Amino acid sequence: MDSHPGFRWTLRIAACAGAIIVLSSAGRSIAAGVPPNPKDLTQGKWELNLAKSKFCAAPPRKSTREILDLGWGLIATHWTGTDAAGNPMDIRYVWRYDNEKYPAEIYKPASEAISWKLVSPSRVEFVHWSKDDKITSTYVREVSADGQSMTQTTKIAGKPCGDVQVFERQ
C-alpha cells in the first residue's frame, strides 16, 4: 500500500500541512507575548497573578489591564475585573507622559487626578493627587527583562503597607 505513488504524495502533503499548522501556531503564541511598543514596554494586555501579588487590603478576585497607545501622544488604560466584594470593575483613563495631571476616570467625575512619567521603556512612575492637590499614593510599574511580567508597587500616603501587584503579559 505505501508503494502506491498517490499514497506517498498524500503523506507529503499531510506532513507539509502539519508543519505549516505547527509553525503558524508557534508564531501566534510568540507574537502574543511580544510588547507592541519597544519605547513603552508597559503597553499590551496584562492579567494579574494573584498568587505572586501582595495586598494590604482584600485583593481583587480578578484584574486585567490593557494599556494602549492611542496616537497623538495619548496613552489609555482599560482596567477590568472583579473587586474583592465580587463587583465588576470597568475603569478607563487617558493620559500623556508629561507629568501633568489627568482625571483618574473618564466615564464619571474623578475624585483624583494622576500624573504620569515614562522613566525608561520598562519603567513608568505615576502619582495620584487629591482635589486639594495633595499626593494620595505613588506607583511604579516595571516590566521584567524578558517583557513577560510587570510589577506594580503602590505606596499609599500615611500608610506603612504597600501593594505589590504582579501581572503577566497576555
CA distance linking residue 46 with residue 150, whole number of Å:
8
Q: Which tens digit of pLDDT belongs to each residue from 41-94?
A: 999 999 999 999 999 999 999 999 999 999 999 999 999 999 999 999 999 999
Give the Cα separation of 87 and 111 in Å (integer): 20
Which of 37, 60, 18, 27 has the alpha carbon at shortest distance from 165? Answer: 60
Which residue matches cell numbers 502619582? 127
Show the cell assigned to 91.
Answer: 475603569
| pLDDT cut 90: percent of the chain above it | 76
The rounded mean pLDDT for the chain is 85
pLDDT beyond 60 at 125? yes
Share of the chain above pLDDT 70, in %: 81
Residue 138's H or E segment, with its range, is strand 135-143
Place of cell 501579588: 53
The pLDDT of residue 36 is: 81
